[in-house]
Chains A and B, each alone.
Chain A
């Protein structure tokens, strides 16, 4: 529990330094939690299955964006648009998750670095499709999405027609808070809880404990791992849709890039490790990470007279906490290894 406490102290110090009103911070926090929790949650299952932190959720985020681009292309607005985006992105995410799982099964023991490089690689393919082929090979009906040359999607796409349509569903007239999104997030967490109680969930745990023993006891290890990654990728796709419908603009070529980094950092700040994570860590971590996010530019401004320092500081925190968590995990694992050989 030491990590979340340290970050709580840093965040609180930053909060005091920033001088922001509590009301504003809490308000901001509700929105940030509602739009980021599903993305962070998507990391939990691969951790339990022993595949470490799945930086490959970047591919899921891409699938979500594919769904949104489809919706904007056909001009389907409102909550219907969000549903269609989910319907389109889910099969894409399942396919990408399946491929990711296949690749990661070939790189056992190196899943994290492999999933990260896979994210970079997929980014290249994504750019190939949306910069070079869209408008030329792939027909785009909505000409507003294309660059002036008529080929390639614009850097930013307006999502106004579906903006906050999920957040404000049913309760939009009563309160500005994203009630429905929070309910759906809670339902997904409950679903995750029950999934882990099923036979499949138990198999995932077993694979996470030891691939060898799980294999000997008749569990299809490779298949279980692929299913875990598929679930993770699909959740990431949905998470990205929820995130973007709240934001209201899609940065076509950059929105997905940071997803892996920020989600992983959030989960780890909550006290999760490479082989242990649950909804508690996801919730606490997302809260703390985004608290840091809100206060650090102003804190940097007030402390050092330079907002840029706060900006760099939070990037440093994101990378640093991941680096430290990986370091500590590998350290522990090595210690237990040498102890075994000493006996």
Chain B
């Protein structure tokens, strides 16, 4: 195949970022930074973030573009997790109760938000972004006055108002990550399998695989196909008898639900629930990830999620230890800001439909 074709297939941003990642990996090897730790971090962070990135797929496919209002779903995911923690549930029950509470709430919220978005076609990203900010800042007040009573969750002084970060260690922390890990591994297990299970959070990755498969099968179904048609051309979809507004509703509901599940999975792996302003910082990295993966404002596939999350998180994971040795820690943060916003900017300034 001729080189130009390959280059165009990979795309400029991916080429640069992959090259940078490889360079960092080589430097990491040269600096004798343990590879197993880096690999474990990459896999864990991939699993933590991939579902939130996956949430971008239905919204892009249904023509809404990047869902900057990811915080909406995240809020309901957090509420689910908080309620299950309030009751003192532990382990898998805690996890599934959280999902069980979060999903219906996210469906309702996504539906209402979708109704609103259908009235502001063409401006979804700007409106969504500020709508998300407003919801998050409104919820800051809610977290302060919410009737949660569990002393592990509220401020020690005064006994009301939720803390900024709540530990999940005693509830659902790490249920997915450690699903296939044991305190003592059985004798029959070969050594390589043990170290594989220690490095790779199989349960976490399987969760993502299941959700990704659902989204993939859905996008191949009749309903999913009409959603994609509605997203690619409104006029064409209408002339084929597809109710565009309904398809967009479907897309945003799916996206919101995935965001809710995504934050629960993220929190259990991270070990903490982060409240107050934390949900503000969910949408931009997710948007950056899927765009790095090769999606555009009009087109997104599962493979974009996988490539993008892997590259973006990989970069962050490898950059941190390398840069801590070579320079100050703030460098890693700066790289994150420049890359994530740079890629979104790049996508916004492309012509419609062109891949980033």
**Do A109 and B122 touch across chains, with their CB atoms under 8 A apart?**
yes
A interface footprint on B10-27 (CB within 8 Å = 1, 0 otherwise)? 000000000000000000
By beta carbon, the residue of chain A nearest B131 is A323
CA distance A183 to B143 in the complex (A): 45
**Do B137 and A121 touch across chains, with their CB atoms under 8 A apart?**
no
Stretch at the interface among A82-90, A111-119, A242-250: A111-119
Least CB distance from A306 to B in Å reads 6
Question: Is A200 an interface position by the 8 A CB rule?
Answer: no
A interface footprint on B265-292 (CB within 8 Å = 1, 0 otherwise)? 0000000000000000000100000000
Number of A positions contacting B (CB below 8 A): 44
**Do A316 and B138 touch across chains, with their CB atoms under 8 A apart?**
yes
Number of B positions contacting A (CB below 8 A): 38
Question: Is A186 an interface position by the 8 A CB rule?
Answer: no
Question: Is A313 an interface position by the 8 A CB rule?
Answer: yes
**Do B144 and A123 touch across chains, with their CB atoms under 8 A apart?**
no
CA distance A318 to B342 in the complex (A): 26
**Do B348 and A107 touch across chains, with their CB atoms under 8 A apart?**
yes
What total count of A-B pairs have CB within 8 Å?
Answer: 121
CA distance A198 to B348 in the complex (A): 33
Which residues does chain A contribute within 8 Å of B338, judged by CB atoms?
121, 124-125, 128
Which residues does chain B contribute within 8 Å of A10, judged by CB atoms?
none
Least CB distance from B298 to A in Å reads 13
By beta carbon, the residue of chain B nearest A320 is B134
B interface footprint on A307-343 (CB within 8 Å = 1, 0 otherwise)? 0110011011011101110110111011000000000
Question: Is A38 an interface position by the 8 A CB rule?
Answer: no
**Do B137 and A312 touch across chains, with their CB atoms under 8 A apart?**
yes
**Do A327 and B120 touch across chains, with their CB atoms under 8 A apart?**
yes
Least CB distance from A299 to B in Å reads 13
B interface footprint on A221-255 (CB within 8 Å = 1, 0 otherwise)? 00000000000000000000000000000000000
- Knowing A120-B341, A320-B137 touch, does A110 contact B348 (C-beta < 8 A)? yes
**Do B129 and A316 touch across chains, with their CB atoms under 8 A apart?**
no
Question: Is B223 an interface position by the 8 A CB rule?
Answer: no
Question: Is A60 an interface position by the 8 A CB rule?
Answer: no
**Do B119 and A334 touch across chains, with their CB atoms under 8 A apart?**
yes
Stretch at the interface among B55-63, B197-205, B323-331: B323-331
**Do A127 and B348 touch across chains, with their CB atoms under 8 A apart?**
no
**Do A123 and B145 touch across chains, with their CB atoms under 8 A apart?**
no
* Interface of B, helix, strand, loop or mixed by DSSP: helix
CA distance A331 to B338 in the complex (A): 33
B interface footprint on A70-93 (CB within 8 Å = 1, 0 otherwise)? 000000000000000000000000
- Complex partner residue of A128 from B138, B334, B344, CB under 8 angstroms: B334
CA distance A319 to B279 in the complex (A): 14
Question: Is B156 an interface position by the 8 A CB rule?
Answer: no
CA distance A320 to B136 in the complex (A): 10
- Complex partner residue of A327 from B125, B127, B161, CB under 8 angstroms: B127
Which residues does chain A contribute within 8 Å of B68, judged by CB atoms?
113
- Complex partner residue of A103 from B119, B333, B349, CB under 8 angstroms: B349
List the interface of chain A (C-beta within 8 A of B).
Answer: 103, 106-107, 109-110, 112-114, 116-118, 120-121, 123-125, 127-128, 131-132, 149, 151-152, 304, 306, 308-309, 312-313, 315-316, 318-320, 322-324, 326-327, 329-331, 333-334
5 A-B pairs closest in CB distance: A124-B337, A330-B120, A323-B130, A330-B123, A121-B341
List the interface of chain B (C-beta within 8 A of A).
Answer: 68, 116, 119-123, 125-127, 129-131, 133-134, 136-138, 140-141, 144-145, 161, 284, 327-328, 330-331, 333-334, 337-338, 341-342, 344-345, 348-349
Provide 18 A-B residue pairs closer than 8 Å at the C-beta atoms, listed in order of the A residue. A113-B68, A113-B125, A114-B348, A117-B345, A121-B337, A121-B341, A124-B334, A127-B330, A132-B327, A132-B328, A149-B328, A304-B145, A308-B144, A315-B137, A319-B136, A322-B134, A326-B120, A327-B116
